[in-house]
Amino acid sequence: MTTGAPDGDPVALRSPAMCRFFGGVMTRQMRGGFRAVRVLKPGLPTLPPDRPLIVYANHPSWWDPAFFIVLAVHLLGDRESYGVMEAEALERYGFMKRIGLFGIDPAQRTGAVRFLRVGAHVLSDPRRMLWVTAQGEFTDPRTRPVALRSGLAHLMGRVPNAVAVPLAVEYPFWSEKRAEALCAFGPPIEAGGTTEGMQAALTDALCGTMDRLRDAAMGRDPIAFDRLAVGRRGTGGVYGLWSRARAIASGRRYDGDHLQDPTGR
């Protein structure tokens, strides 16, 4: 493993105060954009506290980084979170360097080298974790076979004490105006074996987790999920005003949902 801090060291640049601030901002953003944020039961698996963590996910939407921040704040707040972003975009939004993001150029070999060097540096402390969109580009969550870039498998080889956790995410519409933000965690994966074997294990685990989330999403049963955050309710507009007026006229309590959410308000 390469020693020494890399250029643009995300550990040195990261501000805990900025991370807390943007954790709150992203939680509000997702509450405003979705009906609810839900985690498929049984939720986050048991993780060793004395080993660095990599959460690697599929990449269906622009919302994915915001979802990661919300999950980090609400479920993994005892760890320092870091993530990867295209270098060009990161330069446009330089403040994101203060919340643990570091840039790479995925089209260049130097980007892969930087990912491995900075990733290994981040994971040199067991209190830290790295979030990775392992598909590398936007991909529909139902696309099969699942294809992951090989950088993650190589990184696991460089940091053999790291634990990788697959994370499936998708954003389906159920019965309400706004979509659901859904996720599912898979079982932890240990490093070991060849890079090719590690690549296959990571791919199979993420695919299995995505299939489990797909089935739950198609079932549309909120009871199958723990609700992490509740979003905006109701349809709004003329239809919402009409529904509210009807409830008042009939003496009923107004409920903006088409179908009641049994997990609560």
Q: Which residue type does 169 have? A: V
- Sequence-ordered list of residues with C-beta below 8 angstroms from that of 151, at least 6 positions apart, any chain: 112, 115, 116
Question: C-alpha angle with apex 43: 156 to 33, nearest 5 degrees?
Answer: 100
Instruction: Give the chain's domains with CATH numbers.
Output: 10-232 (3.40.1130.10), 234-265 (no CATH)
Can you give the pLDDT of all 265 residues of the chain as single tens digits?
Answer: 445 678 889 999 999 999 999 999 999 999 999 999 999 999 999 999 999 999 999 999 999 999 999 999 999 999 999 999 999 989 998 899 999 999 999 888 899 999 999 999 999 999 999 999 999 899 999 999 999 999 999 999 999 999 999 999 999 999 999 999 999 999 999 999 999 999 999 999 999 999 999 999 999 999 999 999 998 766 554 445 554 555 466 666 645 565 667 776 5
DSSP string, the chain: ---SPPTT-HHHH--HHHHHHHHHHHHHHHHHH-SEEEEETT-SPP--TTS-EEEEE----TTHHHHHHHHHHHH-TTSEEEEEEEHHHHHHTGGGGGGTEEEE-TTSHHHHHHHHHHHHHHTTSTTEEEEEETT-S---TT-SS----THHHHHHHH-TT-EEEEEEEE----SSSSPEEEEEE---EE--S-HHHHHHHHHHHHHHHHHHHHHHHHHT-GGGEEEEEE---S--HHHHHHHHHHHHHHTPPP---SS--TT--
What is residue 254's predicted lDDT score, i.e. its pLDDT? Answer: 45
